[in-house]
Amino acid sequence: MNEHPFAEFIKILGKGKRGSRPLTQDEAYRAMQMILANAVEPVQLGAFLMLMRIKEETPAELAGFVQASRESLSLPTTKLQIDLDWSSYAGKRRHLPWFILSTLLLAENGISVFMHGAGGHTSGRVYTEQVLQSLGIEIATSFPQALSQLSTQKFSYLPLQYFAPKLHEFIELRPLMGLRSPVHTLVRLLNPLNATYTLQGIFHPSYRAVHQEAALLLGQKNMAVLKGEGGETERNPDVACLVQSVVNSELQDETWAALFKRRHVKTEILEPKQLIQIWNGELEDEFAQATIIGTLAVALKTVQKVTSQTQAQELATKFWLQRNQQRFDSVC
């Protein structure tokens, strides 16, 4: 019986401590091509994903996976320039997703934000899609609809299942495997609409540099990645935040100081309606407000609207104070 072509990649990863090695970018590219073309057996897929999970992805492997994944998508051709790609795949467990209000403030001030994500793969978490729906924000179900929303309102959220169903299938394997897979990492780097800037959140600090270096390999000239609260793209104001970036094709690291001297107690119950109450000025919450403004400040510096942290914080505060407080009247 002839050896299956995909066995090559499993052998590279699984030969033990002395015999195994990471995949090259080309090998990772070819492996993901086969996976997305349904050219592997289920047992091979499971073995490959878990071997990758144990060793963790290198920048070259991640870049190869992303390259193959992007080529598998039916991406639209458009003259519309998107400013910021914002991935949202983790869900929130300890705090509400205050970063959603940060993205809406960007859109309100003329900075277009394309958000993509997935939800429901981990129990006990609140996901972006359900929160946006509770805010009365329509979820896109196709690239044409997303582009239309970006053209008219500067913001759109498109779930992964509608533009990359195969990758979404792999995301949904998490309850079956009990672990995340490399797909949870690569989807954050997809940037399907080729936005000028990208902003990503991760949970494990070691993945910051992996995302940063993979973005450089992929030719992404401007991006930023931070250890976000709960793994989402959200700055936690209670702790110092290291942002690792690619700025005009050069690697940069920058630490944003904590905004409070003490840590806040997590919310007992996550109620999405509190986002509306905070926005409308009906509820006071210093942690929520600092999170919204702090996350917005990082985004503003990422899209190069400012050149310093001080300017970013000042402009973010201005956007917050001048927000349209009638925005959510129709869903109250």
Calculate the dihedral angle through the C-alpha atoms of 242, 245, 251, 255, rounding to the nearest 10 degrees.
Answer: -20
Q: Which two tokens stand for residue 97?
A: 């997703």
Ordered strands of the 241-247 beta sheet = 155-159, 113-117, 84-88, 197-202, 223-227, 241-247, 250-256
Instruction: Point out the residues of the chain with pLDDT beneath 70.
Output: 121-123, 330-332
CATH class of 84-331: alpha beta
Q: Look-up: residue for tokens 């498109």? A: 158
What is the domain partition of the chain in residue ranges?
84-331
Helix (H, G, I), strand (E, B) or coil at 254: strand
What is residue 1's predicted lDDT score, i.e. its pLDDT?
73
What is residue 327's predicted lDDT score, i.e. its pLDDT?
86
The reported pTM is 0.94
- CB atoms inside a 10 Å sphere around CB 118: 25
What is residue 271's predicted lDDT score, i.e. its pLDDT?
86
**Beta strand pairing call for 113-117 and 155-159:** parallel
CB within 8 A of 278, min separation 6: which ones?
Answer: 98, 101, 285, 288, 289, 292
Work out the mean pLDDT of the chain and round it to a whole number: 93
What is residue 331's predicted lDDT score, i.e. its pLDDT?
61
Percent of the chain with pLDDT over 90: 79
What is residue 77's predicted lDDT score, i.e. its pLDDT?
87
Tens-place pLDDT, residues 220-243: 999 999 999 988 999 999 999 999
DSSP class of residue 329 equals G
What is residue 330's predicted lDDT score, i.e. its pLDDT?
61
